[in-house]
Amino acid sequence: MKRAKIDIVYDMLKAIEEKGGRILPTHLLYKSNLSHQRMKIYLEELKQRKLIVETDHKGKMMFALTDEGRKFLQDFAKVKEFTEAFGL
């Protein structure tokens, strides 16, 4: 089943959260199940929307979840509950 854009965004942010708030690009690529090209496009959008930031951790480049990213995850969970209840 084809994932909607919003589901891909959720999967990527969730993957970062489950890794303790920051993740290596290769791990994110594996967890989000996207091609390298598509992941780059999504990463740009997530950065533009300030949901994630690039950080340097022990000399390695990582992607970290921002407060907006955490809030998005919470709001998205509410939307999912709403979707289920109202059969959308």
Partner 1 sequence: MINVYLHGPHWFLGVDAALEALAGVIALLVAFASYKAWRLTGERKYGWFTVSISLLTVSFLSRALTDALLREVFIKLPERIAGLVFYAGYVTHIMLAFLGYIILIAITHKIHDRRIVALLFLTLVPSLLMSGSYYRTFYGLSLVFLAFITLAYYQNYKRVGNKASALVFEAFALLTAAQVQFLVQGFYILSTQAWNFLFVTAHVTQTLGFVFLLAALLRLKSAAARNPKVVCVQVVRLKRQV
Residues of this chain that interact with partner 1 (CB under 8 A) are 1, 4, 6-7, 10-11, 14, 17, 72-88
Min dist CB 11 to partner 1, Å, is: 8
Residues 12/22, Cβ–Cβ less than 8 Å: no
Amino acid at 16: I
Comparison of 56 and 84: residue with beta carbon closer to partner 1: 84
- Tell me the C-alpha distance between 88 and 82, whole Å: 8
Min dist CB 60 to partner 1, Å, is: 26
Comparison of 56 and 86: residue with beta carbon closer to partner 1: 86
Min dist CB 39 to partner 1, Å, is: 18
Comparison of 9 and 29: residue with beta carbon closer to partner 1: 9
Q: Collapsing DSSP states into helix, strand and coil, what is residue 66?
A: coil
Structure tokens that stand for 16 in this block: 């970062």
Cα end-to-end span (Å), the chain: 17
